[in-house]
Structure 1
Amino acid sequence: MNGQTRSQIQPGVEVEIVLKQDQRTGKTTKGIVKDILTKSANHPHGIKVRLQDGQVGRVKVIISK
């Protein structure tokens, strides 16, 4: 699943995100969602989240619910 819909993402879900510095290359980082930072229901570039390790980026893939 892609990460463009906020309702599909909750804290504790494993996701792959693209960090700000990796946007040009598209390199993804895997982690567990701690906080959802995007307020809108949808975002074309992915919902912005903070992982448990503190990294912030936009969700590209939802691995597990």
Structure 2
Amino acid sequence: MNGKKRADIKIGALVDIVLKKDQRTGTLTRGHVKRILTNSAQHPHGIKVMLEEENQVGRVQKIVTE
């Protein structure tokens, strides 16, 4: 699943995000969702979330299914 719909993302879900500093390279960071920061139902670049690990903030590119 991609991370463009807010309803697909749950607190604690394992996701791959792209950090602001990595947007040019597209490097992904994996972690668990601590907070969902985007209020709208969907976003073309991905829903913005905060990860539990080091409070990193970025846009969800992929929801990892275990």
Matching residue's letter, 1:59 = V
Who is 2:51 aligned against? 51
Q: After superposition, where does 1:1-65 map in structure 2 within 5 Å?
A: 1-53=1-53, 54-64=55-65
User: Identity rate of aligned residues, in percent?
Assistant: 60
Q: Which runs of 5+ in 1 are unaligned?
A: none
Detail structure 1 runs of 4+ shifted over 4 Å in the superposition.
Answer: none
RMSD between aligned residues: 1.0
Take 2:25 and 2:59, find their aligned partners in 1: how far apart are those partners?
14
The Cα offsets for residues 15-56 of structure 1, whole Å up to 9 and x where unpaired, read as 000000000000000000000000000000000000002000
Q: If the length of structure 1 is used for normalisation, what is the TM-score?
A: 0.97
Query: What is the number of residues matched between the two proteins?
Result: 65
